[in-house]
Amino acid sequence: MSDVRTTNGKRRGGQEVGAEDPYKGKWSTLSNTTLGMLMATIDASIVLISLPDIFTGIKLDPLTPGNTSYFLWLLMGYMLVTAVLVVSFGRLGDMLGRARMYNMGFAIFTVFSIMLSLTWMHGREAALYMIVMRIFQGVGGAFIMANTGAILTDAFPPNQRGLALGTNQVAAIAGSFIGLVLGGILGPLDWRLVFWVSVPVGVVGTIWGVVNLKDKGVRSPARVDWLGNATFAIGLIALLVGIVYGIEPYDGHTMGWTDPLVLAALIGGAAVLALFGWIETKVEAPMFMISLFRIRAFAASNVASLMAALGRGGLMFILIIWLQGIWLPEHGYSFAHTPLWAGIFMLPLTGGFLVAGPVSGYLSDHFGARPFATGGMLAAALSFGLLELLPVNFPYGLFALIIFVNGLAMGLFAAPNRAAMMNSLPPDQRGQGSGMGATTMNSAMVLSIGIFFTLMIVGLSADLPTSLFNGLTAHGVGAAAARKVADLPPTSSLFAAFLGYNPIEKLLGPSGVLTHLPRSQATFLTGRSFFPKLIAVPFGRGLHEALDFAVAACLAAATASAMLGKRSSYKPREQLGTPPSSGPATRAEPAEATSLPR
């Protein structure tokens, strides 16, 4: 344990007699921030699994041409806005108080959860209203995500931060899977319950935070970097919007990467972000302190976090499609019930993370972050490689074991990586640094979805049209109708399976073809085996390409983690551009330099 020094000079049990414990109330702080992360991540995934019920409730078919963008924005808008705002909100936490910003986020999140449940319109108007409300809900989520890591770093001594951050991250990952199950249960009952479930948690968390959370960190008053904020937001929004529309069909192409508007968004966004980087080296009080990347542990942990998020982000969607579109129907589950069961069958992944997260955080507090972060990414790469060896119609026990190992590996990595990142920061830059780390991870998640969907669609495009045409004509569908369906972009089949629709019924239903077929043929085509067997080989090809990318990303993350160094705690004597503020909160900081083993 690090000593807390005062001017008293007397010491009892490693602490000055009469000195107030600077880490008093740390477990209550952990409970509140963990509740916040749990709520934010449950809400992100609960919508993912409830989309069919939500669109049925507002009377909008998300797979009809022209409606796909509503589906994508309702799915990804929350992630996009949190990715854009967390750095700015982390910087505001440094300036105005991290607990204050966190509590504001809890309140905003709760208000817009209520607003989402009060949707009264139908059709596209309702979808647009909900997208806007989700974006504002994401503003609240960004306040929570940006300041949680900094609040915990302030609240806990260095030799317990890994445990605290690990527990918090376990809640974040667990929430993403709890949301899948909750959405599958609540959505069919009433889609509004999907949003109401966050309200009591939000009310309790907001009141608890106002009463309990105290700002223990160092504030660094400064002017708002308006130019930096504007260029960062414009550049990142353009880049992420380009990715969202890049996975949509365009002008007869299976994807939109050749769309001039998508190319303009990607290239223009990258150029504006480059301009942002230059601006941040010139302004007096930058929102994004680039000099923090001179800290080896901070730079290495961010690169590792980026690559890990690239490897796992989109893959969750692919595994869910694998279960919903192929495995579950072939094992007797109706398409309508596959979203719920996909969440249940993915629980071993959550279990692995729940086991490894706190344990790896505790161990990294005592032995340093490098061996656990590096080992976790190597184990993740191995687990992704093992998934490649499975047949598309796999034995579930083996699949469960592999994803459990993957959860262990990700848990082994996440807490030490986060602890290394936060421990390396000067006290007055923890909010900004936490936001920078969250932006890296959230942006990588959106990019990962674009990459994985692209790899899957490229793999499907090679064989699916021919397989679909031959399969339909072999069971009585006319050549013209079969060709029309076969020529549809593969995204139609993927999104239908992802949303829990019967893919063949969805593809053939509007044309009325099924009503003119013999009943036995129509029943077979829309049954639980035709589509899964039809798509298995093309899906397997795309799956292997996606898993190859995941393996490469995890190996890159392991390489970055190996560069963390034996110790990663902040040293006050390091010159980082803006010296730490003086004051009571910094007097305990020098002891942190010796809290981790060399």
Are residues 272 and 401 located together in one domain of the fold? no
Stretch 96-100: mean pLDDT: 85
Mean pLDDT of the chain: 82
Are residues 250 and 118 located together in one domain of the fold? no
CATH number at residue 178: 1.20.1250.20
Are residues 57 and 108 located together in one domain of the fold? yes
Is the pLDDT at 555 greater than 60? The verdict is yes
Final residue before a domain boundary, out of 240, 260, 286: 286
d(CA 438, CA 444): 10
The string of pLDDT tens digits covering residues 358-416 is 888 888 888 888 999 999 999 999 999 999 999 989 999 999 999 999 999 988 998 89
Q: Which domain holds residue 248?
A: 225-286
In contact, 94 and 430? CB cutoff 8 Å: yes
Are residues 120 and 204 located together in one domain of the fold? yes
Are residues 395 and 295 located together in one domain of the fold? yes
Are residues 186 and 273 located together in one domain of the fold? no
The string of pLDDT tens digits covering residues 210-254 is 888 877 766 666 677 888 888 988 988 898 889 888 888 888 788
pLDDT for the residue numbered 337: 83
Final residue before a domain boundary, out of 255, 271, 286: 286
pLDDT for the residue numbered 20: 61
pLDDT band at 569 (very low <50, low <70, confident <90, very high): low
Are residues 403 and 267 located together in one domain of the fold? no
Alpha helices by DSSP H, listed for 15-67, are: 26-57
470 part of a folded domain = no
Q: Distance from first CA to last CA of the chain, Å, rounded? A: 16
pLDDT for the residue numbered 581: 42
Alpha helices by DSSP H, listed for 247-346, are: 260-280, 296-322, 328-330, 338-345
How far from 550 is each of 212, 494, 546, CA to CA, in Å? 41, 20, 6
Are residues 182 and 323 located together in one domain of the fold? yes
467 part of a folded domain = no
Final residue before a domain boundary, out of 286, 303, 328: 286
pTM: 0.80
d(CA 157, CA 183): 37
54 part of a folded domain = yes
In the chain, how many domains are there? 2
pLDDT for the residue numbered 580: 42
| DSSP-assigned letter for residue 16 | E
The string of pLDDT tens digits covering residues 193-204 is 999 988 988 888
Report the share of the chain in percent with pLDDT over 70.
89
Q: Which residue has the higher pLDDT, 548 or 46?
A: 548
505 part of a folded domain = no
Q: Residue 561: which of 571, 570, 553 has the closest Cα? A: 553
The string of pLDDT tens digits covering residues 64-97 is 777 878 888 887 888 888 888 888 888 788 888 8
Stretch 118-142: mean pLDDT: 92
10 part of a folded domain = no
Report the share of the chain in percent with pLDDT over 90.
22
Are residues 97 and 126 located together in one domain of the fold? yes
State the helix-helix crossing angle for 296-322 and 370-389, rounded to 10 degrees: 20
533 part of a folded domain = no
The string of pLDDT tens digits covering residues 467-526 is 889 999 998 888 988 898 888 888 777 777 777 788 888 888 777 788 888 888 888 998
Are residues 346 and 395 located together in one domain of the fold? yes
491 part of a folded domain = no
SS3 of residue 250 by DSSP: strand
Are residues 328 and 248 located together in one domain of the fold? no
pLDDT for the residue numbered 93: 82
479 part of a folded domain = no
Is the pLDDT at 4 greater than 50? The verdict is no
Q: Residue 144: which of 423, 366, 373, 442 has the closest Cα? A: 442
d(CA 448, CA 315): 8
Are residues 396 and 427 located together in one domain of the fold? yes
